[in-house]
Amino acid sequence: MSRIRVAVLGATGVAGQQFLAALPNHPLFEVVKLGASERSAGKKYSDAIRDAGGKVSWFATKPLVENFASMMVEDAAHMTPDGVDLVFTAVESDAAKVLEPRFAEKVPVVSTASAFRYEPDVPVFLPAVNLDHAKLIEVQRKRRGWKGFVTPGPNCTTVGLAITLKPLDAAFGIEKVVMTSLQSVSGAGRSPGVLALDIIDNVVPYIAKEEEKVEKETKKILGSFSGEGIADAKIAVSCTCTRVNVIEGHTESVFVGLKKKAGVDEVKAAMREFGSDFVALKLPSTPQHLITVSDDPYRPQPRLDRDNEDGMTTTVGRVREEPVLGGVKYMLVSHNTRMGAAKGAMLIAEYLVHAGYIGK
Ligand SMILES: NC(=O)c1ccc[n+]([C@@H]2O[C@H](COP(=O)([O-])OP(=O)(O)OC[C@H]3O[C@@H](n4cnc5c(N)ncnc54)[C@H](OP(=O)(O)O)[C@@H]3O)[C@@H](O)[C@H]2O)c1
């Protein structure tokens, strides 16, 4: 079968680069168009990411392949869906609000942006966690009269949180969650990004709009599909989101109040077993384990654990009883630009191909 022809919008940014790092030789997807802002339009990709001083600003650890380096970047505002079966978007929310519906009229759009996450007919899709929310795609198509659709992945901080909460909710029921994040610098992208002067030797105690996003999305992701929309999970979620001096990998400290008493070993077992049916689908970007639980009290650490399973597993450690909320507490590390953005979006698309929502 010939591969699904893909356009990547926002290809020059931090999340967009992770798409290009992961897409060479993908068995299902073939990149045929690259889009970005007017600033990059009409340039060869390697020139579009070259700064005024001549530096090629490629941030991914995997190399930029020649095939993509020599592709011309189009102005996303003028790009058409002609010759494209699927669009991945990695642009800021304001641009996504305009671009995504234009493409979704014709073809599926799998997004890393927040623009449509809170619309009642749009799923915030997280593979293995809420597969049944894919059914909302048909509601969206019908309501909007689109041939395609928009499916955003969650905010990068929500990803590790929702993945680790899901097995706990299924096995023991969750009443309350309190989470504090220590988020990496790459999470802010590169335009304008975080100034070195602000972050070196420092912790910034506020990330605009982040806490609201994580609180809202977690309840939607863990909620149930009602036939017409998603009924939020009845879980109280409260977050503090901070920025720390780490390049990649978001660390989170999570306190969970459970409905049913659970021992630490039961919690670890529920997390370790989570998602085995989904893993068995053997989609190209699926890790062997959605959650990796460490018994080492000094793990997880972003530098040591963000790249586990190519950045696609959430690494959990320090699982302990939590006496104040009545439940369990733990630390997690999740790769914000891979599972939390580009590769997470690819995994969504791979599942939607498997489920028949995306095709040629
Ligand atoms: N970074 C992460 O860890 C992460 C994680 C999850 C989700 N996300 C989401 O991914 C999206 C991109 O974030 P990022 O961190 O990659 O940001 P970024 O590094 O600042 O990149 C932004 C990208 O958007 C393009 N762009 C800007 N304005 C545009 C416009 N009007 N039309 C078309 N393209 C435009 C830029 O192109 P030029 O180079 O031409 O300016 C660039 O390719 C955001 O919605 C963000 O919330 C990011």
Q: For residue 63, what are the contacts with CB-CB under 8 A and spacing of at least 6?
A: 21
How far does residue 45's CA lie from ligand 1's centre (Å)? 15
Q: Whose CA is nearest to atom 27 of ligand 1?
A: 37
Atom of ligand 1 minimally distant from the CA of 96: 45
CA distances from 86 to 68, 130, 263, 282 (A): 17, 21, 45, 21
Find out whether the beta carbon of 183 lies less than 6 Å from any atom of ligand 1.
Answer: no
- Reported confidence tier of residue 284, pLDDT bands at 50, 70, 90: very high
> Distance between CA atoms of 331 and 318, rounded to whole angstroms?
6
The mean per-residue pLDDT over the stretch 44-58 comes to 95
Please write the tens of the pLDDT for every residue from 13-22.
999 999 999 9
Residue 241 annotated among the catalytic residues of the structure? no
Token pair for residue 267? 């919690």
Residue 292 has a pLDDT of 98
Find out whether the beta carbon of 189 lies less than 6 Å from any atom of ligand 1.
Answer: yes
| Closest residue by Cα to residue 87 from 64, 52, 112 | 112
**% helix / strand / coil in the chain, to the nearest 5?**
30, 25, 45
Find out whether the beta carbon of 92 lies less than 6 Å from any atom of ligand 1.
Answer: yes
- Reported confidence tier of residue 162, pLDDT bands at 50, 70, 90: very high
The type of residue at 131 is L
Percentage of the chain modeled with pLDDT above 90 = 98
Q: How many CB atoms lie within 10 A of CB 141?
A: 17
Atom of ligand 1 minimally distant from the CA of 11: 43
| Closest residue by Cα to residue 8 from 95, 76, 55 | 76
Please write the tens of the pLDDT for every residue from 202-215.
999 999 999 999 99
Residue 28 scores a pLDDT above 90: yes
Residue 360 has a pLDDT of 87
> Distance between CA atoms of 214 and 185, rounded to whole angstroms?
17
Residue 99 has a pLDDT of 98
Residue 281 scores a pLDDT above 90: yes
- What pTM did the predictor assign? 0.98
Find out whether the beta carbon of 37 lies less than 6 Å from any atom of ligand 1.
Answer: yes
Instruction: Give the torsion through C-alpha atoms of 192, 307, 320, 256, to 10 deg.
Output: 50
Token pair for residue 83? 């010759």
Find out whether the beta carbon of 6 lies less than 6 Å from any atom of ligand 1.
Answer: no
Atom of ligand 1 minimally distant from the CA of 187: 3
How far does residue 101's CA lie from ligand 1's centre (Å)? 17
Residue 73 scores a pLDDT above 90: yes
The mean per-residue pLDDT over the stretch 285-306 comes to 98
Please write the tens of the pLDDT for every residue from 312-343.
999 999 999 999 999 999 999 999 999 999 99
- Reported confidence tier of residue 267, pLDDT bands at 50, 70, 90: very high
Atom of ligand 1 minimally distant from the CA of 36: 34
How far does residue 248's CA lie from ligand 1's centre (Å)? 16
Please write the tens of the pLDDT for every residue from 116-142.
999 999 999 999 999 999 999 999 999
Q: 3-state class of 40 per DSSP? A: coil
Backbone angles phi, psi at 98, to 5 degrees: -85, -45
Percentage of the chain modeled with pLDDT above 70 = 100
Q: Which of 133, 250, 289, 335 is catalytic?
A: 250
Residue 1 scores a pLDDT above 90: no
How far does residue 283's CA lie from ligand 1's centre (Å)? 26
* Count, residues in the chain: 360
Vertex 354 angle, CA 63 and 16, to 5°: 30
When comparing pLDDT for 360 and 79, which is higher?
79
Q: Whose CA is nearest to atom 15 of ligand 1?
A: 189
How far does residue 40's CA lie from ligand 1's centre (Å)? 13
How far does residue 328's CA lie from ligand 1's centre (Å)? 36
Mean of the per-residue pLDDT values for the chain? 97
Residue 231 scores a pLDDT above 80: yes
Residue 192 has a pLDDT of 86
Please write the tens of the pLDDT for every residue from 167-208.
999 999 999 999 999 999 999 999 889 999 999 999 999 999
Token pair for residue 119? 């619309």
332: DSSP letter: E
Residue 26 annotated among the catalytic residues of the structure? no
